[in-house]
Structure 1
């Protein structure tokens, strides 16, 4: 129980203190930039282009957390296996990729996977945003595996014993009895992880993905004015804040509602 509670509360504590401060600074700076009429007008012209970039951030974050959740659920179950040959590879994967820098994994997946896939004589492009999604899904799966493991271990052992007494196998007990009870324990840290992955999608700009930060850099390079550069990068910060801060607040509410005592 300690593992799952610790993991879920520490990130939300950081988000509850750091995010409002950063958001306040960004909003204040952005409002200041609007005192420059020319900067504000130019920013409005570039807003649709920035919005398309931010849509890519949202798409990458949703796909990464979905893929990471699927793989992480399987890994979490493997970590609980009584057989060492099954448990050990899952533990190694989790320990390696849970502590791996996201940027390194994004670069690795970008160059490991081909730029095109040959299928029945047809060359199908392998987009960079999918590679970035895989790069973010790898550490997400490792974190989710630990979340699932901690949640399962927080369930009283008496329920395992009762299920065994009723003739359930270990896999049936895990699937039908234990995992449904883990949802309220898993959801708060899962939401925190999604907010972290959403902010990490900005790293995809370094491998050529046309997301929000990449779009802001394009705009800044095209306009080449210091006041506009400040305004556009503050806009990036504000948009990420507006998207991620409600997730952090919702997570805190879930923690209070689903607190395990």
Structure 2
């Protein structure tokens, strides 16, 4: 083992100051306040974790056939989830046809995973997305290839949440890029329009936009013209997310040194060539973490469509809990959908960290 180097002007630090115990002492017991907080957190964990494990697993009932049997166990009633999981996952989609939204969800998740793999970053990825979206539409709507037609009013659960989030991200991102470029434009009219749009949208909550799209928008349409409620909600989500993407990308554009623009001008590149080949790639690498935060928030915010009567994953869980025969198990239902949201959001977060590290943005720890 190599000898520890001796710093100039002194002896090497004692092992007690550089080992694992020293790091624990420095992070958890470095001051009286930190020591008190460490003891308090340890006490809370000691009191809550064993009780949670006992309720979630040890005393839980997985096979009960009635609500009374579940309540008698004194623990979590996972039999309720086994009984109602199809309603929670697929909403009121026809029971015998629920293999279709299941397959549509698998296709959507598969094409998203393919988009995350660098090997698929080729021109055929766009064609793959087109085929996937056509397949999802055929499976969900039906009416062709012998499939029963299902109105989108009967769509619900996880497939609907995935559709709203996927289309929201796919359309909000390019729209946000254009808005960010427009806000930095030298054309006063374009800049003013982009500023007004971004500040107006960011100044109101998503709930108000959903209400506007559901209640107010039909009043401004010509007589005889109507837009589907699901499409109106999707448009509101896209417009809302695009404003936040625009501000995030604008921050990345401002971080690019002026010399990059001057170097591109010296090579004779046009504005769009400079933007596409030099400026945007660097700006987007800088803002990967906040962009991913926006996408995660958008995925979770799709649950707000419940307020305009769209049967998303949250509404499906509320409907399952409302069953008189299984009333009283809302904790299990919301834990179930919380795990679903966590799996998707955590996967997005981990991928963003790996992408950030792969592109070497300089922001990873």
Shared fold (TM-score, shorter chain, > 0.5): yes
Q: Unaligned stretches of 5+ in structure 2?
A: 1-44, 67-76, 91-156
The residue number in structure 1 matching 2:308 is 207
Contact 2:177 2:249 in 1 (8 A): yes
Find out whether 1:54 has 2:155 as its counterpart.
no
Distance 1:197 1:224, change over 3 A: farther
Question: What is the Cα deviation at residue 251 of structure 1?
Answer: 2.9
Which segment is superposed worse, 238-247 or 197-206? Answer: 238-247
Q: 1:42 aligns with which of 54, 77, 80?
A: 80
Residues 114-153 of structure 1 show CA distances to partners (whole Å, capped at 9, x for unaligned) of 39x99xxxx8873322222212112210111112211222
Bigger Rg, structure 1 or 2:
2
The residue number in structure 2 matching 1:216 is 317
Name the CA distance, whole Å, in 1 between partners of 2:236 and 2:205.
10
What is the TM-score of this pair, normalised by structure 2? 0.57
Which segment is superposed worse, 62-71 or 219-228? Answer: 219-228
Contact 1:195 1:244 in 2 (8 A): yes
Residues 147-177 of structure 1 show CA distances to partners (whole Å, capped at 9, x for unaligned) of 2211222122111111112222323311232
The residue number in structure 2 matching 1:108 is 212
Q: Secondary structure at the match of 1:204?
A: helix
Q: Tell which has more relative contact order, 1 or 2 (C-alpha 8 A, sep 6+).
A: 1
Q: What's the RMSD between the two structures over aligned residues?
A: 2.9
Question: What is the Cα deviation at residue 103 of structure 1?
Answer: 1.0
- Indicate the structure with greater helix content: 1
Name the CA distance, whole Å, in 2 between partners of 1:193 and 1:144.
7
Question: What is the Cα deviation at residue 189 of structure 1?
Answer: 2.2
Name the CA distance, whole Å, in 2 between partners of 1:32 and 1:241.
23
Question: What is the Cα deviation at residue 182 of structure 1?
Answer: 2.7
What is the TM-score of this pair, normalised by structure 1? 0.77
The residue number in structure 1 matching 2:255 is 154
Find out whether 1:79 has 2:214 as its counterpart.
no
Find out whether 1:249 has 2:287 as its counterpart.
no
Aligned length, in residue pairs: 233
